[in-house]
Chain A
Amino acid sequence: MIKLTDVSKDYLTKAGWRRILSGINLTINPGERIGILGRNGAGKSTLIRLISGAERPTLGTIERNMSVSWPLAFTGGFHGTLTGADNVRFICRIYGVDFEPRFRFVEEFSDLGIYLNEPVGTYSSGMRARLAFAISMTIDFDCYLIDEVIAVGDERFRNRCKVELFEKRRDKAMLIVSHSHRYLKGTCDRFLLFNEGTIEEHDDFEEVYFRYKATLGEAFESKEQMIAAMQ
């Protein structure tokens, strides 16, 4: 279980302190899939960073009794002069797991072949994304953080990602940030709508999407109209 109690986060901007999240209460249970919606700058990524532990909340507490992944397919942690294999080795070292079987998995899953022994700096962005996703799958977490991800690679790679993530890891908790209704609707059990630093919880996707559209200023007149537009 991950439990956020009265969590607030302030950032210093040129115009002074700004409260991005205020008084968030949230519990993530094992195996739950939570979809996150909200306009840009509403605090979605901030919440992901707080839960991942990359940043500390300004106020409030975060309890974690589950292991939490880094944001899935995150490429920022790669070092350009290190090879793909070196980066896999680094991840295995900090998580204290065996390198060999995981490297074989990355080799097979990422399809990068001989490029795994080249510096990551020479990779295209698609290759980086494939490596990042494959590495993310080598460590078994209890909770996965997914910040807009499955848009990487070609159709075939995307399908394999889906199998790896949603079929093989069916029993894991996930936090999924996405703007895509197709993606969220079938996958998540609960939804959080971010609006001006606070969150609303919803169980029903149509309801939350309707309200989400309203915060974007693209409100539909009725839900029926929205559902028709979504088809």
Chain B
Amino acid sequence: MPNNGQTSPKGKLLRDNSWTINRRVVGALLLRELLTRYGRNNIGFLWLFIEPMLFVLVVTAIWSATRTIHGSSIPIVAFAVTGYSSLLMWRNMPSRCAGALRSNLSLLYHRQVTIQDVYWARILLEFMATSTSFVVLSILFYTMEWLPVPEDVLQVLGGWILLGWFGAGLALTVAGLSEKYDVIGRLWPPFSYLLMPISGVAFIADALPPKLREIALYLPMLNALEYLREGWFGSLMQAHYDLGYVIAFNLALTFAGLSLVRQTQLNTSEE
């Protein structure tokens, strides 16, 4: 302890195992991120819910206004909440991680902080934030009786985790690539806008013409979203997905992401 004239025995800081250190560091980074992003006054935190809520309200309004045209029986609020939350997951994780290294570079002077920790902290925070907004919105709309209870909660959870995994793998890959090639960091936002309309935010796969559906289902996030939606209101829709494909894709993406991050780790040389 400082200031009492005594110092600790040699090697004391080296004795914890790496899992303990990892958890500690990621936790500390996560709290730091939380504070710097949302600040002390909790108004910043509210935007987490307000933004998706506005989206859901607008979609619901348009849908209800055009009910006479499409005559569909899908529970629209459930459709909008699941769609937008899934979009938040796979779009925000990569954008938070691309360039995260630059603002945290000086932290690498602490022996136990690694580049991977920086990314994991952001991924976890994003996952927690999106999940919180998903759950809070669902409960809110449920109490307003706009939203039915999920038919299979476990399947919804499974779909959500698959989406989160996809987001994490994508985030690591985009982050690793953007450290290697600046241009990737800049191209990701426009690219994510391109993906948005075909990723199922605003349609279910069954509504597409078969040819187009086949192509769209190459997107893992659409598969995961279909699975999630089937868990929520499967009796009202025909879902199309291939879980094996999503898992294989996620595995490959995670592997690519981790190896790219490792390369970054070996090459970092600034500050």
Which A residues form the contact surface with B (CB < 8 A)? 11-12, 30, 49, 52-56, 64-68, 70-71, 74, 76-77, 79, 81-82, 86, 90-91, 93-96, 101-102, 105, 108-109, 137-142, 164, 168-169, 171-172
Contacts and interface: CB of A to CB of B under 8 A. Distances in A.
17 contacts: A11-B269, A30-B10, A54-B109, A54-B271, A65-B14, A66-B10, A67-B12, A79-B36, A81-B36, A90-B32, A94-B28, A94-B110, A96-B20, A101-B1, A108-B3, A109-B2, A142-B10
A23 B208 CA distance: 63
Contacts of B20: 96
Nearest to B7: A140
Nearest to B112: A94
B194 interface: no
A91 B113 CA distance: 11
A66 B3 CA distance: 21
B35 interface: yes
Q: Closest 3 A-B residue pairs measured CB to CB?
A: A93-B28, A76-B106, A67-B13
Interface residues of B, number: 37
A65 B2 contact: no
Contacts of A56: 265-266, 268
A56 B5 CA distance: 35
Given A96-B24, A140-B8, 18 more contacts: A54-B108, A54-B268, A66-B10, A66-B11, A66-B14, A67-B13, A67-B14, A68-B111, A71-B109, A74-B109, A76-B271, A77-B106, A95-B110, A95-B112, A102-B2, A137-B2, A141-B13, A172-B7
A94 B35 contact: no
Contacts of B21: 96
B39 A81 contact: yes
Interface in B13-41: 13-14, 16, 20-21, 24-25, 27-29, 31-32, 35-36, 39
Contacts of A108: 3
Contacts of B12: 67, 140
A52 B271 CA distance: 13
Contacts of B111: 52-53, 67-68, 70
Nearest to B15: A67
B269 A55 contact: yes
A137 B7 CA distance: 11
Contacts of A101: 1-2
A191 to B, nearest CB: 24
Contact of A82 (B5, B24, B32, B110): B32
A7 to B, nearest CB: 14
Contacts of B32: 79, 82, 86, 90
A77 B106 CA distance: 5
Contacts of A86: 32, 35
Nearest to A102: B2
A67 B11 contact: yes
B107 interface: yes
A139 to B, nearest CB: 7
A36 to B, nearest CB: 17
Interface in B92-132: 106-113
A216 B113 CA distance: 37
A109 B3 CA distance: 9
Nearest to A56: B266
A79 B106 CA distance: 10
Contacts of A102: 2
A176 to B, nearest CB: 17
B3, B32, B106, B112 — which one has the most chain A CB atoms within 10 A of its CB? B3
Contact of B24 (A55, A94, A140, A171): A94
Nearest to A167: B5
A95 B28 CA distance: 10
A102 to B, nearest CB: 7
Given A11-B269, A55-B268, A82 B35 contact: yes
A66, A68, A95 — which one has the most chain B CB atoms within 10 A of its CB? A95
Nearest to A91: B110
